[in-house]
């Protein structure tokens, strides 16, 4: 499982020119799944995201989590995180989990996040336009694998 985490001041996702999800201060998560991903990996990733200290404290030091700042999450499914472009110029997505298997994992991921924080999402598999006002800019790449 790969997640690109971006600290955001305000972000939204639209499908067919309609906003389907938006947040104010918080995190935008671009989320991709591969073949060995499961509920245990999702639980580890959710814990890491909720406790990742990338928000400024009173001294301007990144020492607070999204929970500490009462932020929100915008979660976007993104199979292209598993693009392999080692050969040629057209990426291969063979390592990305097919949609019928990734969708339930994505739903579980968002459900687990919603147990602790407000979460907005895009629409799985849709052609989405994502507007991210990256704060910092702060962008972190997280990956969890089966141990």
- The residue annotated as part of the active site, out of 55, 78, 109, 121, is 78
- Give the pLDDT of residue 146: 82
- Single out the catalytic residue among 80, 111, 129, 145: 80
145 catalytically annotated: no
pLDDT at 78: 96
Q: 72-129 pLDDT, tens per residue?
A: 999 999 999 999 999 999 999 999 999 999 999 999 999 999 999 999 999 999 999 9
Domains with residue ranges and CATH for the chain: 2-143 (3.50.80.10)
Distances (CA, A) of 17 to 70, 120, 134: 29, 17, 21
- For residue 7, whether the previous peptide bond is cis, meaning omega lies within 30 degrees of 0, is no
Catalytic residue flag (residue 129): no
18 flagged as catalytic: no
State the catalytic residue, choosing from 33, 55, 79, 109.
79
């Amino acid at each position: 499982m790969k997640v690109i985490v971006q600290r955001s001041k305000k972000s939204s996702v639209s499908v067919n020119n309609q906003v389907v999800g938006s947040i104010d201060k918080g995190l935008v998560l671009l989320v991709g799944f591969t073949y060995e991903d499961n509920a245990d990996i999702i639980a580890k990733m959710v814990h890491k995201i909720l406790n990742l200290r990338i928000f400024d404290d009173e001294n301007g030091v990144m020492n607070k989590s999204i929970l500490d700042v009462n932020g929100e999450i915008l979660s976007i499914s993104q199979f292209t995180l598993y693009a392999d472009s080692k050969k040629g110029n057209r990426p291969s997505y063979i390592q990305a989990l097919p949609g019928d298997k990734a969708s339930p994992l994505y739903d579980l991921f968002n459900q687990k996040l919603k147990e602790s924080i407000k979460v907005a999402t895009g629409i799985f598999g849709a052609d989405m336009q994502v507007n991210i006002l990256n704060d910092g800019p702060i962008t972190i790449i997280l990956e969890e694998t089966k141990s």
